[in-house]
Amino acid sequence: MSAHDVVSFINGLSEKLASRSRHVCMFLGAGASKACGLPDVAGLTEHVRGSLTGSQLDTFERLASGRNLEQVLGRLRRIAALLESVGDTVDGMTGEAARALDLEVCRLIIERLTAHSDTPGPMLRLASWAARADYHRPVELFTVNYDLLVETALEALGVPYFDGFVGTFGARFRADLVEADGDSGRAAQLASSSLPPFLIRLWKLHGSVHWSWTDGDHPSVLRLGTAAPSGQPAAIYPSDAKYDESRRVPFLVLQDRLRQALNEPETLTLVAGYAFGDQHLNEMIFDAARRRQRSEIVAFCYSSIPDEVANVASTVPNLQVVTRHEAILGGLRQGWRSAETVPTDVWNDGEFLLGDFNFLTRFMARSAPPRGELESRLAELLAKAAATNE
């Protein structure tokens, strides 16, 4: 029975990661944060559900039926925006009640996501790889997570990055710099002179616990120096399609940056910890795989392959999907052939381990040449984290 060769796959991946001419992106989902000890969306939902009481819990349960956490927040904000008159209700809620529940849900999300990470190692290794990767084009990290794990890891290692905001305590979103960074024309030349390629690009597609909206008729998003205070809702992606357009601007700009990045020629995109639960983002990924045949997208799945991804990968060879026991490579869905000369953090006991973000970042950290000061700092931080958990 035919099977995929583990050695051939990891050697090919190592060669692609080593090519300086490559445009390399990573797309991180909740599984990446879960590998560091923080909850995924399901865990966040349970935290909110277990913390609310009384009428707020009843309302949340009603809204959460058939909706995810982002959709619940989008619905609350839509109701709050619609109801200006005292006494008016939608879904049994007044505007005041919707705003109060929005604030409480955001407070609970922030409470859970700003908790100490038990295992920061995976994100520290990712930051170390990104700092050492010597590409002509900047490394781009896209994430749908709201937590601060990536920022914390980059700053712990002293890695410079740009996230679309300029400032410190009340940083303003600069759409012009984000858009120019992905433009192939004159704007890109101007941007490249002010945003050098060694700056890691960090794009938080669904917002962050330290983003907050300004007040007023034309609100804008600020990136704060700390998590959004309890009296302000965090700027988490408003998934309601009819939501106030002025509050969608940062998210639309960042999504467009993802689309541009995926469609750049010779792009290698590694997808980790993502369950393909956002249909809009899925279509961007699938469309780029179909349109850009010289680019590659490799999805590392922790468990099984989602049916929708399997259907596309079976007909689009440059979308590859790998799991512990099988992979779709070149359109062929097969198991793995047993390997003996592979590191045990890649292949062990008949299982391919890179679908686990912890092992994937170990592999990536080895793929870039070491740098003395950075390596010493990484070793120090990993040792400190290990000692804390003992």
Per-residue pLDDT of the chain (390 residues; tens, 9 = 90+): 689 999 999 999 999 999 888 999 999 999 999 999 999 888 999 999 999 999 999 999 999 998 888 889 888 888 887 876 666 888 788 888 998 999 899 899 999 998 877 789 999 999 999 998 888 899 999 999 999 999 999 999 999 999 999 988 889 999 989 987 665 544 444 444 468 888 999 999 999 999 988 876 677 889 998 888 877 778 887 655 445 555 567 888 999 999 999 999 889 999 999 999 999 999 999 999 999 988 999 999 999 999 999 999 999 999 999 999 999 999 999 999 988 889 999 999 999 999 999 999 999 998 877 677 777 888 888 888 777 665
Domain boundary among 60, 89, 113: 113
Residues 139 and 99 in one domain: no
Total domain count, the chain: 2
Residues 11 and 145 in one domain: yes
How far, in whole angstroms, is CA 277 from its chain's centroid? 12
Quote the CA–CA distance of 56 and 77 in Å, as a whole number.
15
Structural domain including 53 reads: 42-113
| Neighbouring C-alpha atoms within 13 Å toward the C-beta of 31 | 22
Residues 289 and 330 in one domain: yes
Residues 150 and 189 in one domain: yes
The contacts of residue 159 (CB under 8 Å, 6+ apart) are: 127, 130, 131, 200
Residues 72 and 141 in one domain: no
pTM for the model stands at 0.90
Residues 258 and 143 in one domain: yes
Residues 127 and 231 in one domain: yes
Question: Contact at 8 Å (CB) between 352 and 6?
Answer: yes
DSSP secondary structure letters along 114-141: TSPPS--HHHHHHHHHHHH---SSPPEE
Residues 104 and 125 in one domain: no
Residue 173 sits in a domain whose CATH number is 3.40.50.1220
The contacts of residue 372 (CB under 8 Å, 6+ apart) are: none
Residues 253 and 157 in one domain: yes
Domain boundary among 68, 88, 113: 113
Residues 25 and 51 in one domain: no
The contacts of residue 186 (CB under 8 Å, 6+ apart) are: none
Rg, Å, the chain Cα set: 21
Quote the CA–CA distance of 334 and 371 in Å, as a whole number.
38
Residues 222 and 78 in one domain: no
Domain boundary among 65, 91, 113: 113
Residues 54 and 158 in one domain: no
State both tokens at 139. Answer: 């490394």
Question: Contact at 8 Å (CB) between 127 and 153?
Answer: yes
Quote the CA–CA distance of 188 and 180 in Å, as a whole number.
5
